[in-house]
Structure 1
Amino acid sequence: MTKDLVSHQLVSYLEDNNVEHIFGLCGHTNIAVLSALENSSVRFIDVRHEQIAAHAADGYARAKKETSVVLSHLGPGLTNAATGVANAALDSIPMVVIAGDIPSHYYGKHPHQEVNLHADASQYEIYRPFVKRAWRVDRPDLFPEILDKAFSLAQNGRPGPVLVSVPMDIFSAEVDTELFERVKQNNKELTKPSISDAKARQVIERLLEAKDSVFYVGGGIMLADAAEELRELVDHLGIPVAYSLMGKGAVSDVHPLTLGMTGFWGTKFINDNCRDADLILALGTRFSEADSSSWYPEYTFDIPNTKLIHIDIDGKELGRNYPVELGIVADLKEALTELNRVAKEMLPEGRKNPKMEEAIANYRKEFFGKIKEHQKSDAFPLRPERILADVRAALPKDAYITTDVGWNKNGVGQQFPAYEAGTILTPGGYATMGFGSSAALGAKLADPERVVVSLIGDGGFGQNPSVMATAVEENIPVIWVVMNNSAFGTIAGLQKSHYGTTYGTVFKKDGESYSPDFAAVAKGYGVDGVKINKAEEFKPALKKAIQSNKPFLLDVSMKNEPVPTDGHWNIMDIYSPGKKIHHVSVD
């Protein structure tokens, strides 16, 4: 029997499973693992705050389409990372969090940094509400099997994060290497469920019978890597496609049958086409509140008057928010492959939809015509529409955009064309400030040949500016565009419209608007920073940033103007019952 330290065997396991990066921060409970990583092919991405590690790992998993790994310390390290891990959970991103824990022989003694106000040795319980499963490793010989189960669970079924909490003495214990060799033979790429021929024919038959059918797609399309299969079905059947925020880019925004994003930040044309459809085929979406206009039937979806066929890998989502005529549990890539085969058998010649294509073309012309003046405006502070238009014009079509919350998320969803699937990385379910700046690091590490730009508000960027230290230290050339309105702008616009004040939502010093000089802060971290002083300076500066291939920050003063919307959000009724009030501009 050959024995080796658990920490060494852990690193060997990661190497054998082709893990290339781990995101994390040191602590006295995990330095045994860090020491084992020193000469490994696995690269440790050192951060200054655990939330950055979790968000970077999230961005990495989205871009790489692989399970990411976070290494955390106990107590404050684990709780610091919790926001990022919860964000990954709500967006179904596969992630394994390995956290150091208190020594097993100190259970019940409340050692340094343990959280034990209600139970001893229960750190892992903190993550239970949002991870797929949380384990505490109680013996060294159990660790190999738990670790292998963790990776399998994270990436199979509906993906999501898991936690493995490891008492620090177990990292330094010896274990029989045969236990690790045994689990290395386990194939974690499981066969995914498809749909039967009969069920596929039932779906296609219903689509062909319907007069005004719509595909409604969510982030599950990207998670299943099924964008190509979706586009093939759209082209063959001539059915328009609308999307949730997380589904943006599943079919290119310039495709003639792409309607656009639904819900509160959707437009009347898009919402009306979904509401008035007689049949919706929903793929990989949970019909979230913002995307469904708080489920009010008069705005976006009028189900069950509109009949619903819903396919998702997670059966719990079928019928959760809308009753289904037909609910199917299946992997979307497998299901769409089968649907395409059957569609071509049942309708070999396919069909076109020129009337809908013309309606969409006219809508786009009208919509972008309305905002064209703002997109070209030389006003300073810059119009947000101008910022988005200049970013789109300067970037390659396959560039990654990471967003946060506010204009950079809602405006991107509504009026920023996505040309390729998976290029818009956004915090959909949790809407987390601080996501965009950190997720950009992970996306760039996952796909270093592509340009990565983080569009982020000054409020969001201020959450974790030390992300710049990691970018410099690890040579990760991402670009941050700080859309700076000296406020938590979306909330300020809500508060002013409903309550007539902006108290607590705008940044002021002695009654005057205040903002840090983020360009100067960037230079302090060793990042090239440029403060934009005129509208015409922005696009040339962004092009320079792209060409530099270095970490770069652009601090762009932006007018605090709300994202225009025709949708509805229930909070408006809570703030101002019986009135039709949304956001307003904040000077």
Structure 2
Amino acid sequence: MKKLISKQLVHYLESREVQHIFGLCGHTNIAVLAELENSSIDFIDVRHEQIAAHMADGYARAKKETAVLLSHVGPGLTNASTGVANAALDSIPMVVIAGDVPSHYYGKHPHQEINLHADASQHEIYRPFVKRTWRVDRPDLFPEILHKAFQLAESGNPGPVLVSVPMDIFSKEIDESLFDKVKAHTKTLTKPSIDDEQAKQIIEKLLQAESPIFHVGGGIILADAAQELRELAEHLSIPVSHSLMGKGAMSDDSDLTLGMTGFWGTKFINDKTRNADWILALGTRFAEADSSSWEDEYTFRIPDTKLIHIDIDPNEIGRNYPAEIGVVADLKQSLNVLLRVAKELEPEGRNNQAIRDEIVNYRKEFNKENQELIEDNSYPMIPQRILAEVRNVLPRDAFITTDVGWNKNGMGQQFPIYEAGSVLTPGGYATMGFGAPAAMGAKLALSNHVVVSLVGDGGFGQNPALLATAAEENIPVIWIVMNNSAYGTIAGLEKAHFGTTHGTVFQRDGESYTPDYAAIAKAYGIDSVKLQSAEEFKPALQQAVNENKPFVIDVAMVNNPVPTDGHWNIMDIYSPGKNVHHASS
């Protein structure tokens, strides 16, 4: 029997147990929207496609499933592109289904077609950052393309894919058997593991090492391998450092968790990784900020330090550091094998009490140095106090999203995360505007968890229209707008290196300026408070948690830099040979 593609598309997504689709309407996708009206799938309507893309990203991270984004032709697709690129650089699985111009009008430049250099080339826009793009040229090929899209998004190193569908194809009929055929194909591919011989070689190297380190990235979270990591680290008593994206893979209250490396890492942590004789790297790209621009006097000294690198993506092994042993494998399966072999070779395990005590004492000293800032009662608030009080109020399993700036860098350095995967942050693309909508996606995925967005006023101001969606869908996220009336991190850089903050601070008639985000929230029908003192912050946050409704807290914050003990080569570009980092602006 023949049925409309739009109807069969929705049925196919239902069969994959898709629960939410994020997007915005347009004349090219309303055939799909019409079918969604009577579907079990909730369509989450937004006011800007970038909001939809970041919501889908946050949803996929929290739910550990592929997210679906529905977009319109031309400007709809380009509006979403930043959010999709952000997901791509953090390896987040997403299927983007975009309406396109009618296939019979290719090359005639119909309404909103992108074709200055080639006809029917909308899908080319996404080619640099998604895993693959498809343009559907024949209705009968659509089922096969759609199924391939999900399989590719989820397999290997996960990431977004694009399926660009001419609007007339949504309204064509094809035989149901074409969809039935692809539904018979498996939805889950078995991933490669590591063999016992290779595992034995790795474990023997670690047992023979004098100062081994595990260094982990976001791949551990993506592979859902945090428990396996913790068991192996505990059995061998090997300390664990992490990239920004790997934060939470080891709980921050473990006495084997060193912390975040690189530019925003502390000297203690960077010295430990730099002086290790063997590093087992798991699911990390050794990104620039995490590796102090790959300059060996700061964070990593590889190949003097011997590297074992395991990743699902072969392109990452050897990209930035040479590996003594390189393994392409799924991390969860590999860690299970490594743990079993470790228990065979070292049945009683090991206990390096000296390194455990050293980490505990370091942590106490770091917290002691921060205590005066945490207790500072001034207003605008000190950011260290904001983070400390957020941690104090929230349950251990609360989900945190960050944006960019102090909220992200300070979180990585100073905010304890106890549950793997409970902090969502824009890593590879470092996209301003990610955190606030990503929190809504996370809350839709995990309704029983408290979800808080730590976001600067610059990031929140990117797309405040997200509050309309929060109100309509009643998504009880708490947004903490850390408001310093500036793009604070960049202001600090410019002030330190060039003596000015031109173009980085918000002013009107020469005076500091900020919108009243609490008033804006109220205009959208969202509960909010604009704080006037530091003492008001903790009760306001407790109120927001207890109300379990969308809630905005607008808190004025001092614009001072996150301490940096590592290195970032951009500093040398600005101020060669001067060892200048940031300045308070």
* TM-score above 0.5, yes or no: yes
State the match for 1:556 in structure 2: 555
State the match for 2:487 in structure 1: 488
2:475 maps to 1:476 = yes
Structure-2 separation of matches of 1:355 and 1:161: 44
State the match for 2:53 in structure 1: 54
Task: Report the CA distance between 1:529 and its aligned residue.
Answer: 1.1
Structure-2 separation of matches of 1:83 and 1:51: 7
Task: Report the CA distance between 1:188 and its aligned residue.
Answer: 2.1
Structure-2 separation of matches of 1:423 and 1:532: 27
Say which SS state the counterpart of residue 245 (structure 2) adopts: helix
State the match for 2:139 in structure 1: 140
Q: Please tell me the residue identity of whatever aligns with 1:485.
A: N
Structure-2 separation of matches of 1:95 and 1:149: 13
State the match for 1:573 in structure 2: 572
Identify unmatched segments of 5+ residues in structure 1: none
Task: Report the CA distance between 1:185 and its aligned residue.
Answer: 1.1
Q: Deviations over 1:409-464 (max 9, x none)?
A: 00000000000100010000000011000000110000000000000000000000
Q: Please tell me the residue identity of whatever aligns with 1:216.
A: H
State the match for 1:224 in structure 2: 223
2:25 maps to 1:23 = no
1:435-514 paired onto structure 2 within 5 Å? 435-514=434-513
Structure-2 separation of matches of 1:263 and 1:19: 38
Question: Which TM-score applies when normalising by structure 2?
Answer: 1.00
Q: Deviations over 1:63-112 (max 9, x none)?
A: 00000000000100000000000000000000000000000000110000
Structure-1 separation of matches of 2:466 and 2:241: 34
Say which SS state the counterpart of residue 572 (structure 1) adopts: helix
Q: Please tell me the residue identity of whatever aligns with 1:177.
A: E
1:121-132 paired onto structure 2 within 5 Å? 121-132=120-131
State the match for 1:233 in structure 2: 232
Q: Deviations over 1:307-340 (max 9, x none)?
A: 0000000000000000000000000001001001
Q: Please tell me the residue identity of whatever aligns with 2:83.
A: G
Structure-1 separation of matches of 2:508 and 2:268: 43
State the match for 1:66 in structure 2: 65
Q: Deviations over 1:159-215 (max 9, x none)?
A: 000000000000000011000011011112111100011000000000000000000
Identity of aligned residues (%): 73
State the match for 1:272 in structure 2: 271
Task: Report the CA distance between 1:362 and its aligned residue.
Answer: 1.0
State the match for 2:4 in structure 1: 5
State the match for 1:163 in structure 2: 162
Structure-2 separation of matches of 1:32 and 1:550: 33
State the match for 2:115 in structure 1: 116
Structure-1 separation of matches of 2:440 and 2:44: 10
State the match for 1:282 in structure 2: 281
1:79-228 paired onto structure 2 within 5 Å? 79-228=78-227
State the match for 1:305 in structure 2: 304
Q: Please tell me the residue identity of whatever aligns with 2:469.
A: T
State the match for 2:314 in structure 1: 315
State the match for 2:353 in structure 1: 354
Identify unmatched segments of 5+ residues in structure 2: none
Structure-2 separation of matches of 1:498 and 1:548: 45
Task: Report the CA distance between 1:523 and its aligned residue.
Answer: 0.1
Say which SS state the counterpart of residue 246 (structure 1) adopts: coil
Say which SS state the counterpart of residue 450 (structure 1) adopts: coil
Q: Please tell me the residue identity of whatever aligns with 2:507.
A: K
Say which SS state the counterpart of residue 311 (structure 1) adopts: strand
Task: Report the CA distance between 1:498 and its aligned residue.
Answer: 0.2
1:395-434 paired onto structure 2 within 5 Å? 395-434=394-433
Q: Please tell me the residue identity of whatever aligns with 2:514.
A: S
Q: Please tell me the residue identity of whatever aligns with 2:261.
A: T
Structure-1 separation of matches of 2:218 and 2:490: 26
Say which SS state the counterpart of residue 245 (structure 1) adopts: coil
Structure-2 separation of matches of 1:486 and 1:438: 21
Question: Which TM-score applies when normalising by structure 1?
Answer: 0.99
Q: Please tell me the residue identity of whatever aligns with 2:582.
A: H
Task: Report the CA distance between 1:376 and its aligned residue.
Answer: 1.1
Q: Please tell me the residue identity of whatever aligns with 2:285.
A: R
State the match for 1:326 in structure 2: 325
Q: Please tell me the residue identity of whatever aligns with 2:368.
A: G
Structure-2 separation of matches of 1:263 and 1:361: 20
2:553 maps to 1:532 = no
Q: Please tell me the residue identity of whatever aligns with 1:185.
A: A
Number of matched pairs: 585
Structure-2 separation of matches of 1:498 and 1:447: 43
Q: Please tell me the residue identity of whatever aligns with 1:404.
A: D
Task: Report the CA distance between 1:353 and its aligned residue.
Answer: 1.0
Q: Please tell me the residue identity of whatever aligns with 1:583.
A: H
Deviation above 3 Å: which 4+ runs of structure 1? none
Task: Report the CA distance between 1:491 and its aligned residue.
Answer: 0.2
Q: Please tell me the residue identity of whatever aligns with 2:132.
A: R
Question: Considering only aligned residues, what root-mean-square deviation do their CA atoms show, in Å?
Answer: 0.4
Task: Report the CA distance between 1:137 and its aligned residue.
Answer: 0.2
Task: Report the CA distance between 1:475 and its aligned residue.
Answer: 1.1
Q: Please tell me the residue identity of whatever aligns with 2:262.
A: G
Q: Deviations over 1:128-186 (max 9, x none)?
A: 00000000000110000000000000001000000000000000000110000110111
Q: Please tell me the residue identity of whatever aligns with 1:292.
A: S
Structure-2 separation of matches of 1:308 and 1:275: 12
Q: Please tell me the residue identity of whatever aligns with 2:246.
A: G
